Amino acid sequence: MKIRNLVLAIALANSAASVVAAQDHSTMDHSKMDHSKPTQPPVDHSKMDHSKMDHSKMDHSKMDHSKMDHSKMDHSKMDHSTTNPPPVDHSKMDHSKMGAMDTPREPIPSVTDADRRAAFPELHDHHAHGTGIYGSVIVDRLEMDDDDGYAMEAEAWIGGDVRKFVISTELHGDKHELEEASFDLLYSQGVRAWWDVVAGVRQDFPSDHSRTWLAAGVRGFAPYKFEVSAMTYASDGGRAMANFEGEYETLLTNRAIVQWRGEANLRNKAEPELQLGTGLTTASIGARLRYEIRKEFAPYIGVQYERSFGNTRRLRTSSGEKAGDVSFVAGIRFWF
């Protein structure tokens, strides 16, 4: 009996030693093991019933979800209703301890009469215009054409923003003689923004056809920045005439500018010695392209078409002149 018990004890001891030896992997050389061939067959999770698994005890934070193929998962069978967090009971929250409510807000005070008087004080003085004295001289045209003719149009003024005195002159001629010239002395009064009423006298030259005229008219900027001048003149013998001018500038660049210009003249009495009839006597239209080397100095080139009408046209054509003529011009424009 004792021998049988001894044999049984030795057998149990050997079995325990073999189990311990099988679990001691520290002495194994893992570098020589071929892990590419799994020692166990793969588990088919598609046949497993996950509905009976208790996921509440699983630690999902340690799971590597990046290697999972979610495209083959059927999310339609998942019960997401149990994944929502429990509702928050705001009635049990103590908002009185929040820092944002520690400082009480002051109500906006009502506007008083004193506040209104401070914001809109009574004005006892009106703004005064034209308190300074200024002046300028501008030579708008100083040019020659391809027929050896020349022309000049210049203006100078002195005064304030509203009231000023204006001196203007215009002359035309060729290499042989001065054909016509005029000199205007006008008083200008501003009546509206961008508009002036002018009145004064005009003297025509040369001496063999000189005449003095009373002048009155308006000048200013029409909508869309058209510069407009409408002048009327009256002289002895019941003579009267009118002159209308309009200019518009197109900016190609900050320095290259096209100046469009049109002019028309009318008379109520004919003067055959000056080849001028009644009604619309002459009209012209032209364009001048100038380049402002400086704002005060700009050379230009251009083209102009002038035509005579009515009795003036008949008087000029009978003396061998053309009814209409196109001329190319070149000149300078400057002011100071």
> How would you class 142 by CB atoms within 10 Å of its CB: exposed for 0-12, middle for 13-18, buried for 19 or more?
middle
Q: Find the helix or strand (DSSP H, E) in which 163 lies.
A: strand 163-174
Give the model's pLDDT for residue 105.
78
Give the model's pLDDT for residue 20.
46
Mean pLDDT of 216-234: 96
Among candidates 332, 331, 329, 285, which has minimal Cα distance to 146? 329
Q: Which domains does the chain have, with CATH numbers?
A: 134-335 (2.40.160.40)
- Share of residues in the chain with pLDDT > 90 (%): 53
Mean pLDDT of 153-165: 94
Of 38-42, 71-75, 215-219, the least confident: 38-42
Give the model's pLDDT for residue 25.
47
Between residues 151 and 84, the one the model is more confident about: 151
Give the model's pLDDT for residue 288.
98
Main-chain phi, psi angles of 68, to 5 degrees: -90, 140
Per-residue pLDDT band for 132 (boundaries 50, 70, 90) equals confident
Per-residue pLDDT band for 21 (boundaries 50, 70, 90) equals very low
**158 Cβ neighbours under 8 A, 6+ residues apart:** 133, 134, 135, 164, 165
Strand partners, 250: 258
Per-residue pLDDT band for 171 (boundaries 50, 70, 90) equals very high
The Cα–Cα gap between 156 and 133 comes to 14
224: left (phi over 0), alpha (psi -120 to 50) or beta: left
Predicted confidence (pLDDT) at residue 329 exceeds the cutoff of 50: yes
Q: Find the helix or strand (DSSP H, E) in which 246 lies.
A: strand 240-251
Per-residue pLDDT band for 221 (boundaries 50, 70, 90) equals very high
The Cα–Cα gap between 231 and 200 comes to 11
Predicted confidence (pLDDT) at residue 9 exceeds the cutoff of 80: no
The Cα–Cα gap between 93 and 46 comes to 46
Per-residue pLDDT band for 23 (boundaries 50, 70, 90) equals very low
End-to-end CA distance of the chain: 142
Rg (CA), the chain: 52
For residue 26, what is the DSSP state?
T
Mean pLDDT for the chain overall: 81
- DSSP states of 258-279: EEEEEEEEEESS-BGGGTB-SE
Mean pLDDT of 32-46: 54
Q: Summarize pLDDT for 250-304 with one digit per residue, the tens.
A: 999 999 999 999 999 999 999 998 899 999 999 999 999 999 999 999 999 999 9
Between residues 116 and 103, the one the model is more confident about: 116
Of 30-44, 64-78, 153-167, 276-290, the least confident: 30-44
Predicted confidence (pLDDT) at residue 248 exceeds the cutoff of 70: yes
